[in-house]
A and B are shown apart, each in its own frame.
Chain A
Amino acid sequence: MPSATQPAPASMYRRTEGLGIWEHKGKVAAVGIGHSPVDRRWDGKPETSVGAYAIVALRNAMKDAGITADQVDGLVMDASTTTGAEWPAGRPLPEEFVKAFKPGANHVDGISSLSTEWIIANMPELAHVKYTQYGPGCMSNCVCVAAQAVGDGKTKVCLVLKAWDNLEGRYGQGGENAEDTIAGRAAFSNPWGPTGPYLWAHMFNEYTKKYGGNHDQMANFVLNETRNGLLFPEGFWAQHRPEVLTKEDYLSSRWIVKPANLYDCDIPITVAVAYVFTTPERAKDMKQKPVYIWNTTATNPRNRGIIQTLDEGQASTDFTGRKLYEGAGIKPSDLSFENMYDGYTLFHQFFLEGLRFAGVQRGEALDFYETADLTIEGPHPVSPSGGNRGSGRTRIWMHTDCIQQIQGRAGARQITGVKPEIGVSGGPMPTSGNFLIWSATPN
């Protein structure tokens, strides 16, 4: 049975320049946040499945916002949850899991996928949900779709959910990567063995070739992310492996795809995160301070060849930056902090430069990393969430952190060197993804 819920139509995304200020600027707010526990891998128990964690996150988000489930009329989520290992075709689902949950649209729902049908079947309290939509791929997509949906009046109190499962097996090593033959577009790559952070290792090379600089200059950025991640109690490292990373650890770490090393990569985990989005009017009755969305944008260029080039990557991030500022009606210096995506660390500088964050121009980011104060105490905090590097592979922390920073609820991670008024987050790639601007005020 396919899910009746559809991926968001193209009309819900703002893709081009020249659209002017977003028509719903300041008319959509994030209020509640809910996180599940975080695990390295699923242990096979129903209560730690990605479905169970999704329910925990959704209930936590409603509780955090101070609302009851019957007030919710919308649900935007991603049906895909796998981080890199699929549930093997034909393997029966664990009996205990089957007993614990009602089925959804897909037979592996709750284990390595989700559907709105599965969520609603297993959360009977969500009896008034009338609007459902998928924002495929990432929380970045989901939050942009939910913002547009609330702005358009399709839902007034919307749950936004993204969950990830990490099943057994090493990341990305199943499926076609394990086969002796290769079809489709991958037939033009796999025979020569590119893998993992290969694209970004290559773009980093092109970048340092053009502007100078070297991999060592990444250290302060990676250390800053690691530090911020350890201050993120919802994150993987803070919960399971509170290890302090030294510069020597980073510089001497093993290569994955040189010049990308182990600490330039993230760690796949199981987790679910949910938010409550609503209108400013409804937000008045909720428990947390609303964080207003000022703009969203989607960037999905077609690249010319087998690999993205530096020129294409930079054109994309500049394009994203210009669209974000145009739709929000702000300029780079209005950003209090930035939470753009980081999984892999070697591409974060493309975002910084595309945004001209803290005045950083093309080719300047590595020097900025090395000489500027990137910390939460500094004048222009870089990745205060700690990102994927700092808290595990979710592509979500950056959004949670934007909301928490502006609400003043980031705890030990709260930025202090600047007043957290306007933030930016999004991903997953510098070259393609969904991005948004958050603000403490509606205008």
Chain B
Amino acid sequence: MPRPIPVPDELSKPFWDACNERRLVVQNCTACNRMQYPPEKTCLGCGSGKSLAWREVSGRGRVDDYVVVHDSRLRLWQAEQPYNVALIALEEDPGVLFLSNLPGIPVDQVPVGASVQADFEEVTPGQLLLEWRVVSQPQRPAQRKR
């Protein structure tokens, strides 16, 4: 599936480099002990610009919610319509959220509440992209009515 290819910059390079090593890292503020993603120049919790360090996390999470895109503004995604866009909450701090397409999950059948594990897929030679795989279903798969 062709996706827009991320171009790392000074701020984001450690994240994308870690992806290439199949590791999930997020910024963590050592002053207020708070994780944040995507990376920012300062901590959005305490405003510190000097206390941010990269921290490796478990890569375990939970499906928080999903929507189904039927009419995308993104050119590369238009051939894939309709497609799932899920939101993943990190195990260590469910306030840290990631986007995912949950490869392999049928459209509009995303198991909200399911446990997921970070995975990495090649988006272009030399760059892996963070993705997530469902590892166990929730007790009762939630399918939303319209």
Contact status of A255 and B3, CB under 8 A, knowing A188-B38, A191-B129: no
CB pair B95 A194 closer than 8 Å: no
CB pair B75 A198 closer than 8 Å: no
Interface residues of A in 165-211 (CB under 8 A from B): 170-173, 177-185, 187-196, 198, 201-202, 205-206, 209
Partner of A302, one of B44, B68, B77, B146: B44
Query: Interface residue count for B (Cβ, 8 Å)?
Result: 45
Interface residues of B in 72-116 (CB under 8 A from A): 72-77, 80, 82-83, 85, 87, 95-101, 108
Interface residues of B in 38-80 (CB under 8 A from A): 38, 44-45, 65-77, 80
Partner of A194, one of B12, B85, B144: B85
Q: B145 an interface residue at 8 Å Cβ cutoff? A: yes
* Residue of B2, B83, B98, B123 ringed by the most chain A CB atoms within 10 A: B98
Interface of chain A: mostly helix, strand, loop or mixed: mixed
Query: Interface residue count for A (Cβ, 8 Å)?
Result: 47
Partner of A187, one of B6, B82, B108, B145: B6
Q: A304 an interface residue at 8 Å Cβ cutoff? A: yes
Q: How far is the CB of B123 from chain A (nearest CB, A)?
A: 7
* Residue of A170, A171, A215, A306 ringed by the most chain B CB atoms within 10 A: A306
C-alpha spacing A7/B70, complex, angstroms = 37
CB pair B69 A257 closer than 8 Å: yes
CB pair B7 A183 closer than 8 Å: yes
CB pair B7 A256 closer than 8 Å: no
CB pair A187 B87 closer than 8 Å: no
Q: A259 an interface residue at 8 Å Cβ cutoff? A: yes
Q: B36 an interface residue at 8 Å Cβ cutoff? A: yes
CB pair A182 B5 closer than 8 Å: yes
Nearest-CB residue, chain B, relative to A171? B73
C-alpha spacing A2/B46, complex, angstroms = 36
Contact status of A216 and B146, CB under 8 A, knowing A172-B73, A198-B69, A258-B67: yes
Q: How far is the CB of B122 from chain A (nearest CB, A)?
A: 12
Contact status of A196 and B71, CB under 8 A, knowing A185-B38, A191-B3: yes
Partner of A206, one of B36, B65, B73: B65
CB pair B70 A256 closer than 8 Å: yes
Would you give the 0/1 interface string for A243-260, flagging 1 where the beta carbon is closer than 8 Å to chain B?
Answer: 000000001001111111
Partner of A195, one of B36, B73, B95, B100: B73
Q: A214 an interface residue at 8 Å Cβ cutoff? A: yes
CB pair A195 B38 closer than 8 Å: no
Q: How far is the CB of A106 from chain B (nearest CB, A)?
A: 25
* Residue of A178, A193, A258 ringed by the most chain B CB atoms within 10 A: A193
Q: A305 an interface residue at 8 Å Cβ cutoff? A: yes
Partner of A254, one of B66, B70, B76: B70
Q: Which residues of A contact B98 (CB under 8 A)?
A: 306
C-alpha spacing A152/B70, complex, angstroms = 49
Nearest-CB residue, chain A, relative to B65? A205
Nearest-CB residue, chain B, relative to A170? B73
CB pair A257 B74 closer than 8 Å: no
Q: How far is the CB of B124 from chain A (nearest CB, A)?
A: 8
Q: Which residues of B contact A255 (CB under 8 A)?
A: 68, 70-71, 82
CB pair B85 A193 closer than 8 Å: yes
C-alpha spacing A201/B72, complex, angstroms = 14
Ranked 3 nearest A-B pairs via Cβ: A187-B6, A188-B38, A192-B99
| Chain A residues close to B by CB (< 8 Å) | 170-173, 177-185, 187-196, 198, 201-202, 205-206, 209, 214-216, 251, 254-260, 302-307, 309
